[in-house]
Chain A
Amino acid sequence: MTGKGGTGKTTVAAALALALADGGQRTLLVEVEGRQGIAQLFETESLPYEERKIAVSHGGGEVFALAIDAERALLDYLQMFYKLGSAGRALKRLGAIDFATTIAPGLRDVLLTGKACEAVRRRDKRQRPVYDAVVMDAPPTGRIARFLGVNEEVAGLAKVGPVHNQAQAVMRVLKSPETAVHLVTLLEEMPVQETVDGIDELRAAGLPTGSVVVNMVRPPLLGAEHLLTAGERTGDIARAFARAGLGGARRGGHAERLVAPLLEQGREHAERVRLERGLRGELHGQDLPVHELGLLSEGVELAGLYRLATELRGQLHTGAAHAGQTHAGRAQAATKAAESERA
């Protein structure tokens, strides 16, 4: 899950992990920027470098979370190829880990993507995937292609050996149809612009794009068309306000004096709606499924997160947003799609 800063990557990633866990699935939500955004969202204490269950979804599904820490991941990684044991701590004292995670080219990003892919590929004793889905709260759009493509670079640098092989294996997962890079955006010019640029970059890098998720969508309260003639009808509006008990409609009366500022707010709203319409059109022109999530006007909180998950789940399997569809119809469609997918 990528997107411009502040558009809701963390929130939507969490909602998606919840949605995908619906009906008894198990998902892993990973965070890579060391900000403890997941812990804040789920209102738990900071996550350690350890996969732990943070939520259950409808139908007994489970969401696990992991805050990947580059330094710990490096030690893991060395452990994976080489039994290092306490030598790892010695290395830390030597400043080697600092070197590796801050100076070495992209090693940080290698470790982060590598760890996520490890979770994707992990199997249980019966060779079934441990997680049905892994959702990553990824870096923002400006860095995403480079971040996900880092292993390619590494595979080019380390031409032989396990690192080379490992890098290639990660790249294979990231470029396979198993991966989808979703982009979260708002209906605002710059986020949409960054989304469009991001899609281009991902495509150029051969990384699979998923859906565009338009977040924090406000329901239009007042059609722009209503406002076209509003300016000529200030008298009628003032009388309507008066009728509704807001004071006098004559000049200088309470109701009359509300007309101008409220019309101005209406005009601003109409401008917004018009702008949003254009931006929505641009997003739909990207040849990707577009989903929409409503603005929770009281902020997200846990209950809101579940609501977003339900909203998302309703749209996920239908391929695209069906604005007019009823809730029940949507859920049904989703279940069907999910069933046919499993079959």
Chain B
Amino acid sequence: MGAPDEAIATPNEAGDGGPLAIEPLAIDPLLDDPQTRIIVCCGSGGVGKTTTAAALGVRAAERGRRTVVLTIDPARRLAQSMGLSELDNTPREVPGVDTSAGGELHAMMLDMKRTFDEIVEAHAEPDRAKAILDNPFYQSLSAGFAGTQEYMAMEKLGQLRSDDEWDLIVVDTPPSRSALDFLDAPKRLGSFLDGKFIKLMMAPARVGGRAGMKFVNLGMAGLSMFTGALNKLLGAGLLRDMQTFVAAMDTMFGGFRTRADATYRLLQAPGTAFLVVAAPERDALREAAYFVERLAADRMPLAGLVLNRMHGSEAARLSAERALAAAENLEDGGIVDRSRGNGDGHEALSAGPEDPEDGSPVAESPGTAGSVTTARASRTPHAEDTTACTAKTPSTTAKTPSMPSGNGAAKESEEAAQQTDTPSQEQPGAPTAEPEDEAGQLAAGLLRLHAERMRLLARERRTRDRFTALHPEVPVTEVAALPGDVHDLTGLRTIAERLAQQPYSAD
């Protein structure tokens, strides 16, 4: 690790959070605050929105709040992570959650058709409701194509909120930018309803070009052509269905709009918190920046950024370069062969820690990264000459900068640097025997693995720092990657704990 400190400190030197002027995002106070009623998780694909939403739900519930997690994503992911086989349009209680603090956890998945049907049933008198529900145009519209989902999401959220049955609603949005399209719902509905087009659709449903003719009389040539075109294109039957549908929905459209407007304002209110989830990767963070800006433009309250799946290391004091050099050294028979002239390993050893970490690929490409097997093949026995190398160690270690946020690692590294660590006495002088050879291979493998981890870690931090430099005002929390997948309550609790930990608090 080179100089991450300088890299981050620049934009926000006045900050008070230590060398890293990243504002910590405090999750627990957010979850515990009775004023917090809605949390929306958004972000680009696959970053962990659903996992985060579910984890927040579990934590909020176990801290005593009556919580419902609503997923708008048709994928079955949320159900799976909570150990439920299926989710539907009504909240279902999630078993296995600790309710001793008085909270509860329910989960549901937006079913667009059901939601739409419910609205129709609730807002139209029975005859009319039936006419709408039977209309083929409606049936296909409500089944949830692009476009309807956002309205229904707004509706459902509005419903859940106005029921007042829930202390907290956590919303999981679908992948892609369109996750925020629902913010546009009221506007789009408005421009449609205010448009003259709807009036055409409201015109008496007549067969053929008659409806169009009426509009010619109104001097709306374009419109008449459009109806004509529509009739020709769609067949008169479909246009009639559409017109009947629009006519039947007439009174309801207004309602949609009023409610969508209300929900929009609700989202702007202080009781709502948007969380942008991102992986520490360039593209995901670029999307995150887009979300941050988009939310600001709509004056939506952003609580902060969740950086999910960050990597750390308990051995961060050992740099990638040194680990690699040591691995090569072991693979070459446990010595540094200085007589070879190019002294690959040796060079890396001394140069590594001073090198500003720039993440440039070291030696091999990922596809062909020296695996244990290839390394073994190229190994040749060499004479012993360890002194030169080991003698360097203390000073090299002293220069190794500590990891900025790997708690504890910094302290440990200092202490390690002070300790005069003499080359070990146990060190064998004889050429390697068989079992030792294996241990050497294993050690080399572990070192390569560590080198890869350290590079990943450096890259992730750099990416993060680029984001925070651009958006120093956005509070951030980090969630370390679990080695396996998250697919049960235990996993969700672990994620939640990590969410709630504050990596940047000065300690």
Interface residues of A (CB under 8 A from B): 4-7, 33-35, 40, 78, 81-82, 84, 86-88, 90-91, 94-96, 98-99, 101-106, 108-109, 139-143, 146-147, 150, 153, 157-164, 186, 188-191, 193-194, 197, 218-223, 226-227, 230, 233, 236-237, 239-250, 253-255, 257-258, 260-266, 268-269, 271-272, 275, 294-299, 307, 311
Contacts and interface: CB of A to CB of B under 8 A. Distances in A.
A83 B438 CA distance: 78
Given A84-B225, A243-B330, A246-B393, A109 B369 contact: no
25 contacts: A4-B45, A6-B44, A35-B177, A82-B233, A84-B229, A88-B222, A96-B226, A99-B201, A142-B174, A143-B146, A189-B485, A221-B452, A222-B449, A236-B443, A239-B427, A240-B440, A242-B427, A243-B330, A243-B427, A244-B334, A247-B390, A247-B424, A264-B314, A295-B366, A299-B281
A245 B136 contact: no
A245 B424 contact: no
Given A157-B140, A236-B436, A246-B393, A262 B485 contact: no
Interface stretch (B71-79, B154-162, B294-302, B495-503): B71-79
B361 interface: yes
B441 interface: yes
B196 A94 contact: yes
B443 A81 contact: no
A219 B422 CA distance: 36
A223 B334 CA distance: 21
A265 B313 contact: yes
Nearest to B282: A299
Contacts of A7: 45-46
Given A5-B176, A249-B424, A266-B446, A298 B361 contact: yes
A142 B73 contact: yes
B225 A221 contact: no
B232 A82 contact: yes
Of B441, B459, B483, most A-chain CB atoms within 10 Å: B483
A221 B442 CA distance: 11
A260 B313 CA distance: 11
Interface string B382-402: 000010011011100100000
Contact of B421 (A95, A191, A248, A307): A248
Contacts of A153: 140, 143
A6 B232 CA distance: 41
A1 to B, nearest CB: 13
Nearest to A257: B416
Given A33-B178, A239-B427, A261-B313, A5 B393 contact: no
Contact of B188 (A102, A230, A239, A263): A102
A222 B372 contact: yes
A161 B235 contact: yes
Interface stretch (B23-31, B204-212, B321-329): B321-329
B427 A263 contact: no
Contact of B232 (A87, A141, A162, A271): A162
Interface in B316-363: 318, 322, 325-327, 329-330, 334-336, 349, 359-361
B447 interface: yes
B238 A158 contact: yes
Given A82-B225, A237-B443, A219 B366 contact: yes
A87 B326 contact: no
A102 B141 contact: no
Contacts of B74: 142-143
B66 interface: no
Contact of B234 (A161, A197, A242): A161
Interface of B: 44-47, 73-77, 80, 136-137, 140-141, 143-148, 174-178, 188, 191-192, 194-198, 200-201, 220-223, 225-226, 229, 232-235, 237-238, 241-242, 279, 281-284, 286, 313-315, 318, 322, 325-327, 329-330, 334-336, 349, 359-361, 366-369, 371-372, 386, 389-390, 392-394, 397, 416, 419, 421-428, 435-436, 438-450, 452-453, 455-456, 459, 483-485, 487
Chain B binding surface SS class? helix
B80 to A, nearest CB: 7
Nearest to A82: B229
Contact of A94 (B46, B197, B281, B349): B197
B279 A163 contact: no
Contacts of A258: 315, 318
A226 B397 CA distance: 28
A241 B323 CA distance: 9
Contact of B226 (A87, A219, A240): A87
Nearest to B177: A35
Contacts of B444: 240, 244
Nearest to B194: A95
A161 B449 CA distance: 63
Nearest to B451: A221
B389 A245 contact: yes
Contacts of B394: 247
B481 to A, nearest CB: 9
Contact of B393 (A220, A240, A254): A254
A244 B426 contact: no
Given A106-B140, A244-B329, A297-B455, A221 B366 contact: no
Contacts of B47: 5-6
B390 A236 contact: no
Given A108-B147, A194-B75, A266 B449 contact: yes
B426 A157 contact: no
Of A194, A221, A243, most B-chain CB atoms within 10 Å: A243
Given A242-B424, A245-B336, A265-B450, A189 B487 contact: yes
B137 A221 contact: no
B445 A243 contact: no
Of B143, B226, B361, most A-chain CB atoms within 10 Å: B226
B225 A140 contact: no
A297 B368 CA distance: 12
Contacts of A164: 235
Of B178, B281, B424, most A-chain CB atoms within 10 Å: B424
A307 B327 CA distance: 27
A225 B435 CA distance: 15
A70 to B, nearest CB: 9
A103 B141 contact: yes
Given A33-B177, A103-B192, A244-B447, A226 B222 contact: no
Contacts of A264: 314
Contact of B322 (A157, A246, A294): A246
Contacts of A186: 46
A161 B239 CA distance: 12
Contacts of B371: 219-221
A233 B318 contact: no
